[in-house]
Amino acid sequence: MTGNFLIQCKTRKMEVLQFLAVAFGSYVFGIIVMMIIRANTMEENECVTLGMLIAMAALVFVHFFGIIFSFVGEFNMAISMGATRRAYVGSYALFNMAELAGLELLLFVLGKIESALMRVIYPQCEVILDLTQYFQWKYLLAVIVGMTIVELFLGAVTLRFGMKAFWAIWAIWMFVTLVPAKLIENEALAAKMHQFGMQIGFGNIVQYLVVVGVIAAVIMAVLGWNFLKKQSVTV
């Protein structure tokens, strides 16, 4: 496992640099947009850490699809060169989690810098949205593990079913990004889910969604590994 992990560190340097470029580029873009907004709405005394917000959104999108499709090619190459599936997938997942942890740390630091910068440039401006307050270990760990499982599962699905799985992946992406927010906004549905949650022992919709997410993650991990164990190698 250690040897495979070190190989991951060597072969995925460019990947890390690409993610860093996306993070810094979108971060600077977000700050510029925030300054333009402030310049045209001088009566407002509110700011948001828009640079961090845009950087986070860009990284999630790029990392999600980038890892899915890079995993397809790298899996075939590694197995054809003699790596075992268990060792390769384990080291790939471990590196992926370390990479996500590093990106989360980077976003946290960038968010703090941006918040301080806004207070210096606009002393009268109140930062009404600072995403760093949500950077708690339990949320960060959930993102690291959850994204790794989903990315490798969808990579396994793409390996198994080919590029025709792309549209299924896109549908899942849209579902994950849009449906939970809509569920929370729908007061009637949220009330029903809250009532159902109380009946089965969960206090609110958030707890309900967390349990559903954990169950889904376990199912995806099991299915993904089964796909990879049976996957024939094509190079």
Domain extents in the chain:
2-230
Asked if 72 and 158 touch (Cβ cutoff 8 Å), the reply is yes
Q: Where do the DSSP E strands lie in the chain? A: 46-48, 126-129
Residue written as tokens 């300054």? 35
Length of the chain: 235
- Predicted confidence (pLDDT) per residue in 165-223, tens digit: 767 777 776 776 666 666 656 666 556 655 655 555 555 555 666 777 788 888 888 88
Spatial separation of the C-alpha atoms in residues 101 and 214, rounded to whole Å = 19
**pLDDT tier, 227 (very low <50, low <70, confident <90, very high otherwise):** confident
Spatial separation of the C-alpha atoms in residues 74 and 71, rounded to whole Å = 5
CA angle 132, 142, 183 (to 5 degrees): 85
What lies within 8 Å, CB to CB, of 153 at 6+ separation is 220, 221, 223, 224
Q: Hey, what are 86's tokens?
A: 């268990």
